[in-house]
A and B are shown apart, each in its own frame.
Chain A
Amino acid sequence: MRPGAFRYVSAISLDEVLQNLSEFGDESTLLAGGQSLIPLMNLRLARPEVLIDLNRIPGLAGIDIVGDELRIGAMTRAVDVVTNSTVAGSLPALSRATAFIGHPQIRNRTTIGGNISHADPSSELPGVLAALEGSVTLRSIRGERIVGWNDFIVSTFTNSREPDEMVVDVRFPLRTGWTFAYDEVAPRHGDYPLAGICAGVQIVDGVVREMRIVAVGVSDRPVVLSEVAQASVGRELDETLIKELSKIGREELHANGDAHASSEYRKWLIGTLITRILGNFALESR
C-alpha cells in the first residue's frame, strides 16, 4: 500500500506556501503532521496533485498568551501542547484533551492546525475550540482573516478554508473566572472517542452564572448543548441540578449511531460525562 503519484514541495517559508496555494489551489493539499492525511493517501481516499509540506518552515510552531487568548501556531505538535507549562497553567482542559489524541507516536507528529483543519467530528480539539468560542487565523496572498470556530468547522472533514488559504494559528480565548474541563469515553485509550464533552462554567457565590458545554464524537461537528447550559444559570451546582442537566443533555442531543456505538448508547455516554465533569466542577468550587 502506498499513496498515488503526486508532486511534492517541501516549503521553506510561509510565503512559499501561500504562493503555491495561490498557483495550485484545489489541486494542492497541505501536509502538516500527516497523521490523518497520509492514512487517507495510503488508502487512496485522498489523491492530491501537489503536496505542500509545511514541516520545514521555521516559525509556524509556538505557544503564546496574547492578550486574553492562548495562541497556538499551526505546526505546534500535540506532544508539545501536552507538555507545555503555559497551556497547563492557563487552560488545563486543553492539555488534557490533547493527551487523548492518539498514541505517543501520533502525538509526536500531529499538529494543532492540522487537527482543527481536518474537522474530524470525533476529534477532541474542535470540541475544545467550540466550548471556548475560539477561532483560527487564515492567511493567503490576498491577506489575513480570523474566523470563529462555528464558521470554520462546517461538517465531517470539511472546513470553510478557501483553496488558497492556510491556517496559521489557532486561538483559544482565556475566560477569566471560568473553569473548563474535557473528558471522553473511548473503546481503547488513544482511540477515537465514542463521545466526549468539553464544558466550562463560571460560578459566582456558589451559583452558576454561565455555562458552555459541547459534545464531540456524536454528530458531524461539535454540538453545543445550549439547553443544558441555559438550565444551569442561576442555580447551585449540586447533585439535584447535575442529575437534571445530565437528563436534559441526553434528551437534547441527536446522536449519530454507527458500528461503534448506537445513538442511544452515545446519549447515555453524554449523560454520564456531563455528570462526571459537572460533579468535578461542584467539588472544585466548594
Chain B
Amino acid sequence: MNAPQTVMAINLVVNGVQVAREVEVRTLLSTFLRDDLGLTGTHVACEHGVCGSCTILVDSQSVRSCLLLAVQVDGTNVETVEGLGSLGSLSPLQDAMWREHGLQCGFCTPGILMSIEGEVRSGASAEAICDEVLSGHLCRCTGYQNIRTAIHAYFATKDES
C-alpha cells in the first residue's frame, strides 16, 4: 500500500510536448498549467466550477481544470487553447470565432473554444453544442449570439471541406 504523499512526480503530454514535473498534491491543474508551465491561455475566474473559463481537454474530453488536481492528470494527454492554433495560423474553429466576432473582451473565449473542441470530437451537432456548451460558460460581455453564429459558421465550413 502506498503511503499518502504531499509532493508527487507527474509525467504527461501537454499540447504534444512531454512534460515531467514535481508538484504539490494540492496544486490544481489550472494552477499547474498557468504557474508551472506558463500556459496562461487557460483562464481562471470563479475557481469552483461555475464559469467554465478554465476548460481544457484531458484525453480529448472537456474538463474544468480548476476542478482537477495536477496529480490526477499524470499519464494523460492534455490540450489547452495554446494547442489549437496561433496568431497567423488559427484553427478553423478559432477562425470562425474571429470572422463572426464571437468574442468581445475574450476572457471566456479559451474555455469556450476548448469546450466546443471537446464536443465536436465526441460527435455532437452544432445545435447541441450551442445549447449545451454555451450554458456551461459565463460570457459577461453577453456575446452568446455571435458565439452561436460562429459555431454554425464553423460547422458549415467543416461540412464543406
CA distance A222 to B122 in the complex (A): 33
A276: CB under 8 A from chain B? no
- Per DSSP, chain B at the interface is mixed
Closest to A19 in B: B1
Task: Please indicate the chain A residues that have their CB under 8 angstroms from the CB of B42 in the complex.
Answer: none
B68: CB under 8 A from chain A? yes
Q: 1/0 per position for B63-77, CB-CB distance to A under 8 A?
A: 110111101101000
A2 to chain B, nearest CB (A): 6
Q: How large is the interface on A (under 10, 10 to 19, 20 to 34, 35 or more residues)?
A: 35 or more
Q: Pick the interface stretch among A32-40, A203-211, A258-266.
A: A32-40
B142: CB under 8 A from chain A? no
Among B2, B5, B47, B133, the residue within 8 A (CB) of A16 is B2
Task: Please indicate the chain A residues that have their CB under 8 angstroms from the CB of B74 in the complex.
Answer: 10
- Indicate if the CB atoms of B133 and A1 lie closer than 8 Å: no
Among A6, A19, A39, A50, the residue within 8 A (CB) of B67 is A39
- Indicate if the CB atoms of B48 and A55 lie closer than 8 Å: no
Q: 1/0 per position for A1-18, CB-CB distance to B under 8 A?
A: 111111111110000100
- Indicate if the CB atoms of B25 and A7 lie closer than 8 Å: yes
Task: Please indicate the chain B residues that have their CB under 8 angstroms from the CB of A109 in the complex.
Answer: 63-64, 67-68
Q: Given the known inter-chain contacts A8-B6, A108-B63, A109-B67, please indicate yes or no for A103 contacting B1, CB distance below 8 A.
A: no
CA distance A197 to B1 in the complex (A): 44
CA distance A8 to B5 in the complex (A): 5
Task: Please indicate the chain A residues that have their CB under 8 angstroms from the CB of B63 in the complex.
Answer: 105, 108-109
A189 to chain B, nearest CB (A): 4
Task: Please indicate the chain B residues that have their CB under 8 angstroms from the CB of A4 in the complex.
Answer: 26
A62: CB under 8 A from chain B? no
Additional 16 contacts, C-beta under 8 A, given A16-B1, A106-B49 = A5-B24, A5-B26, A8-B26, A9-B3, A10-B72, A34-B69, A35-B64, A38-B68, A51-B25, A79-B61, A103-B52, A104-B118, A105-B52, A109-B64, A189-B131, A190-B135
- Indicate if the CB atoms of A9 and B2 lie closer than 8 Å: yes
- Indicate if the CB atoms of B1 and A39 lie closer than 8 Å: no
Q: 1/0 per position for B1-44, CB-CB distance to A under 8 A?
A: 11111101000000000000000111110010000000000000
Q: Given the known inter-chain contacts A20-B1, A43-B48, please indicate yes or no for A10 contacting B71, CB distance below 8 A.
A: yes
- Indicate if the CB atoms of B135 and A188 lie closer than 8 Å: yes
A148: CB under 8 A from chain B? no
Among A9, A34, A103, the residue within 8 A (CB) of B132 is A103
